[in-house]
Structure 1
Amino acid sequence: MNARLTVVSNVPVADRPPAQSFQERVAAWAERSLILEIETWPKPGLVSHVDAGSHTDMDADTFKRSALALRPYFAALVDAGMHNASMTTLRKIGLRAEHAMLSATGGVNTHRGAIFGVGLLCAAAGLREAGLVYADEALGTVVKRRWGREILAGPRLPDSHGEMAGARYGAGGARQEAAQGFPSVYEVGLPALHDAQHIAPGEHEAARVQACFSLIAAVEDTNLLHRGGAEGLRFAQQAARDFLDRGGVGDPAWQVRAERIHRAFVGRRLSPGGAADLLAMSVFAMELERRPSHHSTAEMA
Structure 2
Amino acid sequence: MTSREDEALAQAAVTALTAQLSLTPKPGLPDPSHRDHNTLRWSAKSLTPGLAAMAAAARRTGEPTPGLRAELGAIGRSTEHSVGLAGGGHRGALWTLGLLVAGAALNPGDVTATAKRIAAHPDKGAPRRPSRGSSMSAKYGAAGARGEARAGFPHVRRALEELTRSRGTGTPEPQSRLNALLTIMSTLQDTELLYTAGPLGLRHVQAGARGVLEAGGAGTVAGAEALAALGTDLHERSWSPRGSAGLLAGALFLDALPIAAVATGSRTAVSAQLRAAVLLHPPR
Conserved 8 A contact 1:39-1:205: no
Q: CA deviation at 1:61?
A: 1.2
Structure 1 unpaired stretches of 5+: 1-19, 53-58, 129-134
For residues 96-135 of structure 1, what are the structure 2 equivalents within 5 Å? 96-105=78-87, 108=88, 110-128=89-107
TM-score normalised by L of structure 2: 0.86
For residues 71-220 of structure 1, what are the structure 2 equivalents within 5 Å? 71-84=48-61, 86-105=68-87, 108=88, 110-128=89-107, 136=109, 138-145=110-117, 147-151=118-122, 155=126, 158-186=129-157, 188-201=158-171, 203-220=172-189
Counterpart of 1:222? 191
Alignment pair present for 1:38 and 2:16: no
For residues 273-292 of structure 1, what are the structure 2 equivalents within 5 Å? 273-288=242-257, 290-292=259-261
Q: Which moved more, 1:249-258 or 1:86-95?
A: 249-258
Counterpart of 1:255? 224
Corresponding residue SS for 2:26: coil
More helix by share: 2
TM-score normalised by L of structure 1: 0.82
Conserved 8 A contact 2:73-2:123: no
Q: CA deviation at 1:289?
A: 5.7
Counterpart of 2:9? 26
- Out of 234, 253, 258, which is 1:265 matched to? 234
Change (3 A) 1:287 1:205: same
Alignment pair present for 1:66 and 2:43: yes
* Residue identity opposite 1:61 in structure 2: N
Conserved 8 A contact 2:215-2:226: no
Q: How many residues align?
A: 263
Change (3 A) 1:60 1:263: same
Per-residue CA deviation, residues 236-270 of structure 1 (Å, 9 max, x unaligned), is: 00101111111112423433321221110111111
Conserved 8 A contact 1:152-1:179: no
Q: CA deviation at 1:50?
A: 2.2
Change (3 A) 1:157 1:116: farther
* Residue identity opposite 2:44 in structure 1: A
Counterpart of 2:274? 296
Q: Which moved more, 1:246-255 or 1:76-85?
A: 246-255
Query: Is the radius of gyration larger for structure 1 or structure 2?
Result: 1
